[in-house]
Amino acid sequence: MKARSPNLTKDQVKKIVAVIDAWEEGKLTWDKIIAAVKKELDATYTRQALSRNPSIQIAYETKNKFLALASSGPKRTGIPELDEALRTIASLKLEIERRKQIENDLLEQFARWAANANENGVDYRILDRPLNAVDRDASLSKPKAKKPGKVKNF
């Protein structure tokens, strides 16, 4: 039985997203990503493990959209500077698309949290209170307090 690959860290997720962003080898599939990730990170992950991560899923979807659009447009102009500029523009468009998707996901999450808070009797005025100021000088002179117990998830 093969040893299980370690859980994905933030650094690994960034590397996987970079692999997806740099993809130029034809059609992008999960199998191809899995092979590229194995080569890059020396770890094998399933499609389910990769697609469960929102950053990787969004990168995959936006890159596939980009590849579909790019295949219908002009390939090369023959002018190296112009080709590089077009690649840069395409890369920036891809990044904008991904950030729009992340923004939409965060807005949906905020709406969900607001609805759940309202259903559980948490008033928006409580949620909108400013955070307590941190007195850094006091924290240096006072002995450290005990760590609090686990925080309950909502």
Domain ranges within the chain, ordered by starting residue: 10-120
Mean pLDDT of 37-42: 90
147: tokens are 């760590």
DSSP element (H, E) containing 140: helix 136-141
At residue 151, does pLDDT exceed 60? no
Tell me how far apart the alpha carbons of residues 58 and 101 are, in angstroms, rounded to a whole number: 7
Quote the pTM value. Answer: 0.57
48: tokens are 């389910």
| Top-confidence residue, 75 or 45 | 45
**Per DSSP, which regions of 24-127 are E strands?**
none
| Predicted pLDDT of residue 145 | 56
- Residues 61-111 pLDDT 10s: 888 888 877 666 556 677 888 888 887 887 788 888 888 988 998 999 999
Buried residues in 49-59 as b, exposed as e (16+ CB within 10 A): ebeebebbebb
At residue 154, does pLDDT exceed 70? no
| Confidence bin at 32 (pLDDT 50/70/90) | very high
At residue 148, does pLDDT exceed 60? no
At residue 17, does pLDDT exceed 60? yes
Closest CA to 93 of 63, 120, 118: 63
| Top-confidence residue, 84 or 60 | 60
